[in-house]
C-alpha cells in the first residue's frame, strides 16, 4: 500500500539529540556548590532545586529559549537564598555561576538512539522532513551542523526563540501544508503537542523518562486530530505507516 507523502516536522532537543541530561549534569554541580556555600544554614538540595525550577520556568515563559536564561536562573536562586539567610553576595561566586550555566552549551552533541535510522527511513519512504527547534540561532545551528541534520532537512529548518502555538501556526500556514498529512514529532507537551493539536495537525509525543517541568502541561483539549504516544524515536515511521492502513 502506497502512502501519500507526509510533511513531518521534528523537534530537535530531546527528540533527535540529547539536551536535558547536560542541564542535569550542570545542575548537579550547582546543587553541590549551593549546599556547600550555605552549609551553615542547612540549605538542602531539594530547596535549591525547587527554587531554581520556579525561576527557570518563569524566565522561559517571559524570554523564550534565551541562552542566558539558564545561568541567570542559577544566579537568581543564589541571590534569593543570600537574602533569605542574610549571607553577603559575592561577585566572584555570581561570575562562577554564570560560567557554569553557560558551559551547558559547550557540551558535545549526542544523537538519540535510532536518529539516523529513523530519518533515513522516512526520507526513503518519500516523506518531506522539517526541523523546528527552540533557542538561539548560533547555538542551535552548531548542533545542526555537528549532527549533519541538513542532510535530511535541507533548508527546511526553523529556529525560534519562542516555541509556541503562534510560531507553529506561522510555519504551517506559510508552508500551505495539507494539515491532514502534516505531523509534529516532539518530546514537549507544551511546545510540540499542544501547538500541533491547536493547529489541527497530527502529533506524535515522544515521552521521556525524565522531562523538564516546563514541558509538562495538562492536555485540556480533546484532540480532534491524531495524537500518538511513543517511547522510542524508532517507533515513529511505523506509527505513521500503520495510521494509513
Give the pLDDT score at 224.
63
Q: How many Å separate Cα 167 from the centre of its chain?
A: 15
- At residue 95, the 3 state secondary structure works out as helix
Contact call for residues 159 and 140 (beta carbons, < 8 A): yes
Q: What does the DSSP 8-state code read for residue 222?
A: P
Q: How far apart are the first and last CA of the chain?
A: 8
Phi-psi region of 225 (alpha: psi -120 to 50; beta: other; left: phi over 0): beta
Q: What is the DSSP string of 150-197?
A: HHHHTT-EEEESS-SHHHHHHHHHHTT--GGGEEEEES-IIIIIHHHH
Parallel/antiparallel/unpaired status of strands 128-134 and 7-10: parallel
Cα 134 from Cα 187, distance rounded (Å)? 12
The count of other CB atoms within 10 Å of the CB of residue 131 is 22
Give the pLDDT score at 1.
53
Parallel/antiparallel/unpaired status of strands 182-186 and 128-134: unpaired
pLDDT (tens, 9 = 90+) of the chain, 245 residues, equals 567 899 999 999 999 999 988 999 999 999 999 999 999 999 999 999 999 999 998 888 887 778 899 999 999 999 999 999 999 999 999 999 999 999 999 888 999 999 999 999 999 999 999 999 998 899 999 999 999 999 999 999 999 988 888 999 999 998 888 999 999 999 988 889 999 998 999 999 998 766 655 545 566 655 567 889 999 999 999 999 888 76
Cα 170 from Cα 163, distance rounded (Å)? 11
Cα 62 from Cα 200, distance rounded (Å)? 26
Parallel/antiparallel/unpaired status of strands 182-186 and 157-160: unpaired
The count of other CB atoms within 10 Å of the CB of residue 155 is 5
Amino acid at each position: 500500500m502506497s502512502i501519500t507523502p507526509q510533511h513531518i516536522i521534528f523537534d530537535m532537543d530531546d527528540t533527535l539529540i540529547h539536551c536535558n541530561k547536560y542541564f542535569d549534569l550542570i545542575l548537579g554541580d550547582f546543587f553541590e556548590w549551593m549546599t556547600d556555600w550555605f552549609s551553615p544554614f542547612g540549605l538542602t538540595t531539594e530547596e535549591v532545586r525547587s527554587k531554581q525550577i520556579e525561576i527557570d520556568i518563569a524566565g522561559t515563559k517571559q524570554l523564550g529559549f534565551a541562552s542566558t536564561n539558564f545561568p541567570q536562573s542559577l544566579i537568581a536562586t543564589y541571590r534569593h537564598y543570600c537574602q533569605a539567610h542574610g549571607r553577603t553576595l559575592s561577585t566572584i561566586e555570581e561570575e562562577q555561576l554564570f560560567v557554569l550555566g553557560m558551559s551547558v552549551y559547550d557540551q558535545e552533541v549526542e544523537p538519540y538512539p535510532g536518529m539516523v535510522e529513523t530519518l533515513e527511513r522516512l526520507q526513503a519512504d518519500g516523506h518531506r522532513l522539517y526541523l523546528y527547534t527552540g533557542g538561539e540561532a548560533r547555538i542551535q545551528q552548531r548542533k545542526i551542523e555537528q549532527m549533519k541534520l541538513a542532510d535530511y532537512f535541507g533548508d527546511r529548518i526553523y529556529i525560534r526563540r519562542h516555541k509556541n502555538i503562534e510560531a507553529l501556526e506561522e510555519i504551517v500556514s506559510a508552508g500551505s501544508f495539507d494539515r491532514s498529512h502534516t505531523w509534529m514529532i516532539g518530546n514537549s507537551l507544551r511546545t510540540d503537542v499542544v501547538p500541533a493539536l491547536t493547529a489541527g495537525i497530527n502529533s506524535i509525543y515522544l515521552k521521556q523518562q525524565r522531562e523538564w517541568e516546563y514541558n509538562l502541561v495538562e492536555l485540556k483539549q480533546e484532540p480532534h486530530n491524531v495524537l500518538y504516544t511513543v517511547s522510542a524515536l524508532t517507533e515513529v515511521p511505523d506509527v505513521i505507516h500503520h495510521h494509513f492502513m
